[in-house]
Amino acid sequence: MQKPSFLITLLLFTLSLNAQQKAPSPGNTFNSMLGINAFEWDFLQDPKNPNDPSKIYEPKMEIIKSFGGFRHYLDWQKVEPKRGSFTFNPTNNGSWNLDVIYQRCKQENIDVLVCLKGCPDWLLETYPPNLRDGENIPMPFGATRDDPASYIEQAKMAFQFAARYGGNKNINPALVTVDSRQRWTDDPINVAKIGLGYIKYIECDNERDKWWKGDKAHQTPEEYAANLSAFYDGDKGRLGKNVGVRNADPNIKVVMAGLAKADPNYVRAMINWCRVHRGYKADGSVNLCFDVINYHYYSSNAKPNSTDFGTEGLAPELSQTAALADAFVSLGKQYHLPVWVTESGYDINQGSPQKAMPIGNKSALVTQADWIIRTSLLYARHGVSKVFYYELFDDNSANSTQFESSGFADKEPLHRRPVANYFYQVKHLLGGYSYKGTINNFPLVDVYRNGSKTIYVLTVPDEQGKTGVCNLNLGNTIKAFVYHLNPDGIEMGQSTINSANHNVKINVGETPVFVEKVD
């Protein structure tokens, strides 16, 4: 049932006096809140020519341009299909051209986070057949789980990856290797490359707190910290010169695996392991083996602090999203670490426990779009530095299992869903702006700035189809542009409004509205 509309009057507060304002991340623009999870085939595979995965498929790239960031789920198997044999262009598993993906993302100003995940087949062969799973702990069967040396093979692979795609050109070429064997006639040959400068962020695996897969796949915080210590810098160099990301490029940021259960205590235990086993830096800070705190959270009516999936998605402002962000950001500030959320989102299948439901005359697709944009606005408001959503295309929209129908676009026919249309529009309007404060809570009125330019973002934080009129004071400005999100295309609705005594009346609802001051 739709509730009656309301009238809200707002005053323009001076930001420096506004108690509601939260300090934004330095240099962090809204582009950082518009990331997507995807795979190599989402860039390269032309459905009309699926046997040539070496070139960017431009129609897919047009959709990917909607995003400010790309989290690449990259299986270790792709990079090292045989022990000690590294392949990148083409990968000997799948023949993918990783070089062209990362080069194109850099060209399009899309930040890339590479999540190096899983176990290659040759490592799984050390496990008994009944314990082989691609998401096992990345070490040989029977190795000591809390010893960094157990993870040396993964850390060697990370070194090779960082040596190629990082920005350090001063690496001893003798440490860099590829498998240059040709597999068949006319097969492109892998060539060793150093310091291409395409990648700034590398994530060590994905959801290492996999409680649902049992002992073979779940790591305690201490075990994962030991894993990270090898991955980060070869356990402070003790494992060799060709081991660990930072030994290849000291400027690459290593991101801890996103936690499936958003529990800051897991990170605290990792930090304590570093304190004991890695000690302190010269400045007295703990010698950590990660540069970014990372967790996953899908807003739903699931019980807090449980592994229950709940029965439906919730609007972000009505869930635990803000409280969890505050807890992680508080921990991050204590140790001078940024906080990222690398998975979030909603399904459109109405049987899913993570579904976005129709609201009023809005379809589930439009609700999905509303809630995801509002999730990004919420995370900016609470100090999270980057967000990536799950995922570019559905795994199976007909499947009611959670996360199977979370896609931002359809493959057949290939086109953006409303949420990707929203991202494209917001990226072009607000992408270069930074969050500066919130001057009202209901409706939410956020302030974004880019130099001398100001945009207000107005949103009713509910899921009942509420609407109203907001009286916004523009200060010395007498005119504003008003932008409305368009679920059916990439062009925003735009109108010009003149103020009466510097006040403008803005129709506001659960889809964010953007008001740009015109000086």
**Residue finishing a domain among 221, 238, 257:** 257
What's the chain's Rg over C-alpha atoms? Answer: 24
Domain total for the chain?
A: 2
pLDDT at residue 21 is higher than 50: no
Q: DSSP for 465-516?
A: --EEEEEEE-TT--EEEEEE--TTSSSPEEEEEE-BTTEEEEEEESS-EEEE
**pLDDT class of 1 with cuts at 50, 70, 90:** very low
**pLDDT class of 5 with cuts at 50, 70, 90:** very low
Among candidates 456, 415, 418, which has minimal Cα distance to 436?
456
In a domain, 87, yes or no: yes
On average, the pLDDT of the chain sits at 93
Q: Which domain holds residue 131?
A: 68-257
Query: 396-429: per-residue pLDDT in tens?
Result: 999 999 999 999 999 999 999 999 999 999 999 9
In a domain, 277, yes or no: no
- Tell me, what's the pLDDT at 27? 59
- Lowest mean pLDDT of 9-18, 100-109, 213-222, 356-365, name the range: 9-18
**Residue finishing a domain among 202, 225, 257:** 257
More confident residue, 25 or 212: 212
**Average pLDDT value for residue range 15-34:** 61
**Residue finishing a domain among 233, 257, 281:** 257
Q: What is the CATH number for 479?
A: 2.60.40.1180
pLDDT at residue 183 is higher than 90: yes
In a domain, 220, yes or no: yes
CA 169 to chain centre: 28
- Tell me, what's the pLDDT at 309? 78
Q: Which long-range contacts (CB under 8 A, 24 or more apart) does 330-338 make?
A: 331/264, 331/267, 331/268, 331/293, 332/293, 335/271, 335/285, 335/286, 335/288, 336/285, 337/288, 337/290, 337/291, 337/292, 337/293, 338/25, 338/291, 338/292, 338/293, 338/385, 338/386
**Average pLDDT value for residue range 137-151:** 98
In a domain, 219, yes or no: yes
- Tell me, what's the pLDDT at 48? 80
Burial readout 370-394 (b: 16 or more C-beta within 10 A, e: otherwise): bbbbbbbbbbbbbbbbbbbbbbbbb
- Tell me, what's the pLDDT at 502? 85
In a domain, 61, yes or no: no
**Average pLDDT value for residue range 366-374:** 98
- Tell me, what's the pLDDT at 519? 80
More confident residue, 281 or 12: 281
Length, in residues, of the chain: 519
Give the H or E element holding residue 410.
Answer: strand 409-410
**Average pLDDT value for residue range 142-157:** 98
- Tell me, what's the pLDDT at 501? 84
In a domain, 158, yes or no: yes
Query: 227-243: per-residue pLDDT in tens?
Result: 999 999 999 999 999 99
Peptide bond into 173 cis (omega under 30): no
In a domain, 292, yes or no: no
CB within 8 Å of 518: residues ≥ 6 apart: 477, 479, 480, 481, 496
- Tell me, what's the pLDDT at 46? 81
d(CA 368, CA 311): 16
Query: 307-364: per-residue pLDDT in tens?
Result: 777 899 999 999 999 999 999 999 999 999 999 999 999 999 999 999 999 999 999 9
pLDDT at residue 4 is higher than 70: no
Query: 40-76: per-residue pLDDT in tens?
Result: 999 997 888 877 888 999 999 999 999 999 999 999 9
**Average pLDDT value for residue range 362-391:** 98
Query: 70-96: per-residue pLDDT in tens?
Result: 999 999 999 999 999 999 999 999 999
Among candidates 380, 350, 353, which has minimal Cα distance to 364?
350
d(CA 387, CA 377): 10
**Average pLDDT value for residue range 296-307:** 86
**Average pLDDT value for residue range 174-199:** 97
In a domain, 24, yes or no: no
pLDDT at residue 304 is higher than 50: yes
pLDDT at residue 30 is higher than 60: yes
**pLDDT class of 10 with cuts at 50, 70, 90:** very low
**Average pLDDT value for residue range 97-106:** 98
CB within 8 Å of 265: residues ≥ 6 apart: none
Query: 388-401: per-residue pLDDT in tens?
Result: 999 999 999 999 99
